[in-house]
Structure 1
């Protein structure tokens, strides 16, 4: 999945760059009418570049939609794995993911209609063909708006669901062992919110700029689209990087923290959710029974004094 995300995001940025470099006359010598580029002067070269620009842009639309699908799929899968005993909850963001795919790829199909309508408009001076080009382009932006809006909603909903699940189960741990025992999970919550906020903010900027008229909004849309292409891969990687740098947890039993010598710290443990089986304790694994599930949380008891402190 990571390789697919990296390939798609890199390809989209590369395609956008190539599109600009190969069509300099269209970019620099065109008027923007209802978010549609029209050459200031009709010539053989401008017509050729306009046709080339649209063909390359069709590829960019495919990569854009695939990028949204891959990024949101990772989030939906994360939600599915966290809500182990109530996995039906993941159906909500999964439905939004499906809507994103449908409207996104519908936009791809509309972009090909736009390309053929543009060829007819270039071959004829009729105002009807020009109006058809503008109308199809408006429909493309409407489909793009729905796809981006549902992607924003998916990111917000999944982040809230995952954070709430971790917070709910760690509160049970805090009630038994004190707040210090939940610090590593509080740090995990912060990491999830941070990574989700970056990607969601870029999508929101793209959504807003896509629905505002003007040259500045047109440029902002391209900038935010490029940022989204990068952040869709960077955002989930931030969690991996922070854990690799030993910044993903704070030691809960008072011996060390992530800012100390890495050789003196312990690796961060993960939260694993399992079906309710009652309260058990085997070795250093303790099951904490919740209302719907049990959070299996690893911990160590350093001494009888430390154990007494948390009791």
Structure 2
């Protein structure tokens, strides 16, 4: 978790820097268009496209890191069974491939760089991947909670339900953000309200891809998820062995022989 959170911090910092630079260049581009500076406009457009491509590649890599974290969590919950990695692993690979093919050209201002893939494809695959991982992980914990209830009663079942609630909450939040992004991409209207909505949702996706795993880190660190901890062993005291009164009256060598015969 420390390595993953450090990687997400570095990627989020890079995303913040590229966003600031892209915004500054976008303002300069607007000034160049107003001043009818053709050479400056073309140069700024190419710089803007390159920065947006870097930003989108960073977003895809960030999503890949988050998905691998969720995949590892599912792998550990299933008792390190490699077979459970096949289906979500295929979807993670497909999501990453679509993201690297589409997102670098998604915000291009140059007409010849129009993307050839549907804009919603990477986000749909990301949502499906998240749902698969959520069902596999939460379903396995739910099955384990049934066994824990039989053996240990209701006390242990609450811990499992806490873990399930955390997984479902994070998965639902992630899917909700992706759904908003799909709605913003599907909007045909070119009004100012639609443009503002697209910008807000786009920024929300870039932030939530790191915030959602961080929420899990914080909740685990605060002790809200302790279902994997085993209870302390019961203090079983064995009653002391009493020596019969008849043996106490015998010598030690005879007493030991009698005990061995018994």
TM-score under structure 2 length normalisation? 0.75
Aligned to 1:8: 11
Measure how far apart 1:301 and its partner are: 6.8
Note closer, same or farther for the CA distance 1:85–1:111 as it changes in structure 2 (3 Å cut). Answer: closer
Q: Deviations over 1:41-65 (max 9, x none)?
A: 8533443432332121121121121
Aligned to 2:70: 75
Q: Distance in 1 between matches of 2:105 and 2:125?
A: 19
Larger radius of gyration: 2
Q: Distance in 1 between matches of 2:175 and 2:69?
A: 14
RMSD over aligned CA atoms reads: 2.9
What is the correspondence of 1:92-241 to structure 2 with a 5 Å cutoff?
92-107=87-102, 110=105, 118=110, 133=111, 136-139=113-116, 142=118, 144-214=119-189, 215=191, 216-241=193-218
Q: Distance in 2 between matches of 1:221 and 1:91?
A: 34
Measure how far apart 1:231 and its partner are: 1.8
Point out where structure 2 has 5 or more consecutive residues left out of the alignment: 237-262
Matching residue within 205, 228, 239 for 1:270: 228
Q: Is the 8 A contact 1:209 1:220 kept in 2?
A: yes
Q: How many residues end up aligned between the 2 structures? A: 230
Q: Distance in 1 between matches of 2:116 and 2:208?
A: 27
Q: Specify the SS of the correspondent of 1:231.
A: helix
What is the correspondence of 1:19-98 to structure 2 with a 5 Å cutoff?
19-24=22-27, 26=29, 42-44=36-38, 45-84=40-79, 86-98=81-93
Structure 1: 4+ residue segments shifted above 6 A: 301-304
Q: Is the 8 A contact 1:13 1:229 kept in 2?
A: no
Q: Is the 8 A contact 1:152 1:200 kept in 2?
A: yes
Between Structure 1 and Structure 2, which shows a larger proportion of strand residues? Answer: 1
Q: Distance in 2 between matches of 1:70 and 1:221?
A: 24
Aligned to 1:295: none
Q: Is the 8 A contact 1:75 1:158 kept in 2?
A: yes
Q: Specify the SS of the correspondent of 1:203.
A: helix
Between Structure 1 and Structure 2, which shows a larger proportion of helix residues? Answer: 2
